[in-house]
Amino acid sequence: MGPPKNAVRSISQEAFDEVVKENMDDLGMDPTEALQDAIQTLTLQGVDLSGIVTCVPGEGSVKDNPVIHCLDRLNQLNAGPSNQIDDETVELLNKLTELCNSEGSGNAAIASRNGGVEIICSICSKVQKGCEHAIVSALKALAFLLHDLQSRETFRASDGPKLVVGIITDGFENIDILSSGFAVIDAAATGNEVLKELFVELKIEELILRVLSVKREASIQSVYDAIRVLLTPDDNRVLASQVFGYARKFAKIGIARALVDSIRAGLSSSSLVSASIALKAVAVNDEICTSISENGGVDAVLICIDDSSEQGNKTVAKVCCSLLCKLAGSDANKTTIVEKKGMDRLIKLSARFFDDPTVLQEIMAVISVLSLRSPENAARAIEAGAGELALQAMQKFPAAQQMQKNSCLMIRNLVARNAANRTLLLNSGVEKHIRVAKQNHVSCKEAATDALRDLGLDDYNV
């Protein structure tokens, strides 16, 4: 693991307060001016001020900050001889959660910078069975505090992964503990390869499968979010993430199959979107994609696509198209999708959401993958209306960069091995729109050039 990229400078609370004091004593600034100058100067110098309590001297102190007040009192109660968590501790934890959930307040950074993670981990280690409400309050607060590299490293140093996995295991029958516990895993593993590895070493996949199998009806959102995070290579400190291997391990024990079962619940499930994103994260190779289809995954996704069209649910439409695109990476699945009238269903979906280029670009991505190296599928796509979709969408949304790019990619795959499609699309006048996309959007240049070349145009590089 290499050093963090784009590392920023940090400053202690004491050093910050000293800068403000110097502005007043040495430069004769009034308190408000001294504070604002310190903030501006340090920010321009690239100093990270997150977690620093900024208060005007004489009008308040660090100790007056409500977050600091909560932490000080929690620390006092936690230092007591009793292992029982009293009502005051629970109230303070709930207050801390409320403060840290205040968007734009910076309170989560203040809490984690002033020992919040260590205090809550210590409280969690002392909670006895029968105090479920206390442990839920502690886990909810902890999830908010794990917001950056430092707070997550503090969590690791506090033996947090083992602690949380143990709490989830012991409190398995309590839905609130499962939900808040997996929310902590989600927050902790985000952007941290070491914590992902620690959770896998603790066999988190077995616990996840148990929840998906036994508690499926509870539809616990954070479980799906945790799967996604554990299988996402989002730590820029590492050159080669291990998440690909974790995904294969997850699939091997049955998590992919369990996720298909979750998706079968359809739009009636509040976790459909999260389950679809989680399944996409697990589907990392041809073997897994094929097994998902064999367990009914393609059928389930196509039904959700149909239902999203009927119910006008754009979010489900986009997420399910994205999942279908991943599954279509398997040649066997390409055939299955086309045989199940996937092309027609996608074009029908495009007609339903033709006012939204973000939906159209996902549909185009699926058709592009289905047509890749398959002249037969490309012909079927044109028969279904993919050519008209490309032409009309490029005309209607010239400023939609990603949609324009996906349209060019789709056109390329439609014509690369199909001369008949080439003639049809050229006669439709699509060349003009490809050239406009190439000229107007840098991100489209390569895809547009490739599309023009595969359309058989000699001046494709102009």
Tens digits of per-residue pLDDT, 359-398?
Answer: 999 999 999 999 999 999 999 999 999 999 999 999 999 9
Contact call for residues 424 and 387 (beta carbons, < 8 A): yes
pTM confidence score: 0.90
Whether 323 is covered by a domain: the verdict is no
Q: In this model, does residue 3 exceed pLDDT 50? A: no
Q: Which residues of 299-315 are buried (b: 16+ CB within 10 A; e: fewer)?
A: bbbbbbbebbbeeebee
Q: Which residue(s) pair with 60 in the sheet? A: 57
Nearest to 24 by CA among 9, 14, 36: 36
- What is the DSSP annotation of 17-64? HHHHHHHHHHH---HHHHHHHHHHHHHHTTEE-TT-----BTTB-GGG
Residue 68 has pLDDT above 60, yes or no: yes
pLDDT of residue 7: 54
- Inter-residue contact 232 to 243 (CB < 8 Å): yes
d(CA 261, CA 419): 41
Q: Is residue 26 part of a domain?
A: yes
Give SS3 for 154.
Answer: helix
Task: Evaluate whether residue 13 is within a structural domain.
Answer: yes
Which helix (H) or strand (E) element contains residue 10? Answer: strand 9-10
Q: Is 366 helix (H, G, I), strand (E, B) or coil?
A: helix
Has residue 82 got a pLDDT over 70?
Answer: no
Q: What is the mean pLDDT of residues 101-106?
A: 86
Give the Cα separation of 352 and 388 in Å (integer). Answer: 15
| Nearest-angstrom CA–CA distance, 68 and 106 | 12
- Mean pLDDT value across residues 313-317: 98
Give the tens place of pLDDT for each residue, 180-221. 999 999 999 999 999 999 999 999 999 999 999 999 888 899
Token pair belonging to 173: 């029958």
Residue 8 has pLDDT above 90, yes or no: no
Q: What is the C-alpha separation between 224 and 217, in angstroms, rounded?
A: 14
Q: Is residue 377 part of a domain?
A: yes
Whether residue 23 is contained in a domain is answered as yes
Q: In angstroms, what CA-CA distances link 250 with 254, 258, 283, 458? A: 7, 10, 10, 49
Lowest mean pLDDT of 73-82, 258-267, 446-455, name the range: 73-82
Q: How many domains are there within the chain?
A: 2
Q: Compute how many other C-beta atoms are within 10 angstroms of the C-beta atom of residue 247.
A: 23
Q: How far is CA 251 from CA 186, 275, 277, in A?
A: 19, 14, 14
Whole-angstrom Cα distance, residue 89 to residue 96? 10
Under a CB-based contact definition with an 8 Å cutoff, are residues 301 and 263 in contact? yes
d(CA 185, CA 181): 7
Encoded tokens for 64: 């007056």
Mean pLDDT, all residues of the chain: 93
Arithmetic mean of pLDDT, 282-302? 98
Q: What is the pLDDT of residues 251-278, one digit of tens each?
A: 999 999 999 999 999 999 999 999 999 9
Residue at 195 is within a domain: no
The answer to the question of residue 455 being in a domain is: yes
Residue 28 lies in domain: 9-48
Task: Answer for the pair 405, 447: CB distance below 8 angstroms, yes or no.
Answer: yes
Phi, psi angle pair for 353, to nearest 5°: -115, 35
Determine the Cα–Cα distance for residues 57 and 63; give it in Å rounded to an integer. 12
Q: In whole angstroms, how large is the CA radius of gyration of the chain?
A: 27
pLDDT at position 182 is 98
Residue 28 lies in a domain: yes
What is the average per-residue pLDDT within 306-327?
98
Token pair 């007609």: residue: 351
- More confidently predicted of 405 and 85: 405
